[in-house]
Amino acid sequence: MKSNSESMGVGSHRLSSRIRRGDVFSEDCPSRGVLLHATSRWGVLVLVALVEGMHRFSDLRRKITGISEKMLAKTLRDLESDGFVLRVAKPVVPPHVEYSLTPMGLEISGHVAELADWIELNIPKILKARERGR
Amino acid sequence: MKSNSESMGVGSHRLSSRIRRGDVFSEDCPSRGVLLHATSRWGVLVLVALVEGMHRFSDLRRKITGISEKMLAKTLRDLESDGFVLRVAKPVVPPHVEYSLTPMGLEISGHVAELADWIELNIPKILKARERGR
DNA sequence: CGGAATCCAAGATGATACTG
DNA sequence: CAGTATCATCTTGGATTCCG
């Protein structure tokens, strides 16, 4: 139940058929930036929200309780620049802007959603662990 | 406290990518806090690093380029309090502290690692998308 | 309605020094 | 070695106002 530690040692990559990870740990790796956006406080929630389809700005604002307009705008801009979110502004009055996931965005939010789901599912256990910790 | 725990029911995990998610969007849901730790700038990297087994403080510091002592300490404390990281301090001089993942921590870092791997794998595509955006 | 602009408070982060 | 304490700085996030 804890044999993963000493049995393999720090240096012996046991990621046999897995990806050669390692670059994320380097501070100048561009992955860090993307990871930063995708796992940012609001980025996660926006991605998960958009899994269910297109949303308008105010839809997201309502759905993601507690987010401010500024942060929602910034988060959407970041995710858009990474190619995860598609922004479509219709030239009408009043403005009408639609946000949705790109194919790439759909892939990554799958992973993010799994993470979020796991946490929600395990919240009881986590909270219990926390109490024991104090 | 909240009663969101049983509200969803652990057994009701039927829909593939569409389980009854929704609580994360609420700002007072404890999941938010955990998500915040697990996806924090350094939390992600620490979790991924520990997938490969036990590390000492200085191991992590060396491995995760750019992290400061303070942030590493804080990140480890957060992850420990969530029950993801196990801290074992041996009463010797000089100090010797070992950090490793708990069973729960191993699960969550699996998801986090998948996310990180996906990003590394798709970095070329992402960077290309970025350029087009500008 | 969908933001951008501005001001401000709070927290995150970093560099350095210090200690058990 | 594994931190903590301190101070300075940068970023986040929120509230408000304004505009097309």
Same domain, A83 and A27: no
Range of the domain at B94: 42-133
Q: What is the mean pLDDT of residues A74-101?
A: 92
Q: Is the pLDDT of residue B4 over 60?
A: no
Q: Does position B12 have pLDDT exceeding 50, yes or no? A: no
Residues B87 and B28 reside in one and the same domain: no
Verify that A60 and A82 share a domain, yes or no.
yes
One domain for residues B29 and B52: no
The reply to whether residue B100 touches residue A26, judged by beta carbons under 8 angstroms, is no
The whole-angstrom distance between residue B126's C-alpha and the CA centroid of its chain comes to: 23
Q: Which residues pair with B5 in a beta bridge?
A: none
**The pLDDT of residue A22 is above 70:** no
Provide the 8-state DSSP code for B55: E
Q: Are residues A6 and A63 in the same domain?
A: no
CA–CA distance, B28 with A51 (Å, rounded to integer): 22
Across B35-61, average pLDDT: 95
User: Cα-flanking dihedrals φ and ψ of residue B26, to 5°?
Assistant: -85, 130
Give the pLDDT confidence score for residue B2 in this predicted structure: 35
Question: Residue B17 and residue B58: Cα distance in Å, rounded?
Answer: 39
Question: Are B50 and B29 contained in the same domain?
Answer: no
- H or E stretch including A33? helix A30-38
**B57 vs chain A: nearest CA distance in angstroms?**
13
Pair (A22, A70) in one structural domain: no
Residues of chain B with pLDDT > 90, as a percent, come to 65
Does residue A2 sit in the same domain as residue A24?
yes
* Same domain as A53, residue A18: no
Q: Residue range A17-31: average pLDDT? A: 73
pLDDT exceeds 90 at position B18: no
Confidence of residue B86 (pLDDT cuts 50, 70, 90): very high
Within 7 A of a protein CB, which nucleotides of strand D? Answer: 1-6, 12-17, 20
Token match 């930063």: residue? A36
pLDDT above 50: residue A49: yes
At residue A96, does pLDDT exceed 90?
A: yes
Percent residues over pLDDT 90 in chain A = 56
Give pTM, 2 decimals: 0.83
- Mean per-residue pLDDT, B52-62: 96
Is the same domain home to A32 and A85? no
- One domain, residues B34 and B48: no
Residue to test with chain A: of B6, B14, B24, B71, most A Cβ within 10 A: B24
Q: What is the mean pLDDT of residues B52-72?
A: 95
pLDDT over 60 at A14, yes or no: no
Total count of domains within chain A: 2
Does the pLDDT value for residue B100 go beyond 60? yes
A56 shares a domain with A27: no
- CA B27 – C1' D7 distance (Å)? 33
Q: Are strands B55-56 and B96-101 parallel, antiparallel or unpaired?
A: antiparallel
Residue type, A55: H
pLDDT at A60 over 90: yes
Neighbours of A121 (CB within 10 A): 19
Q: How far apart are CA A13 and CA A22, in angstroms?
A: 10
Query: What is the pLDDT, as a whole number, of residue B21?
Result: 65
- Angstrom distance (rounded) from CA B63 to CA B109: 17
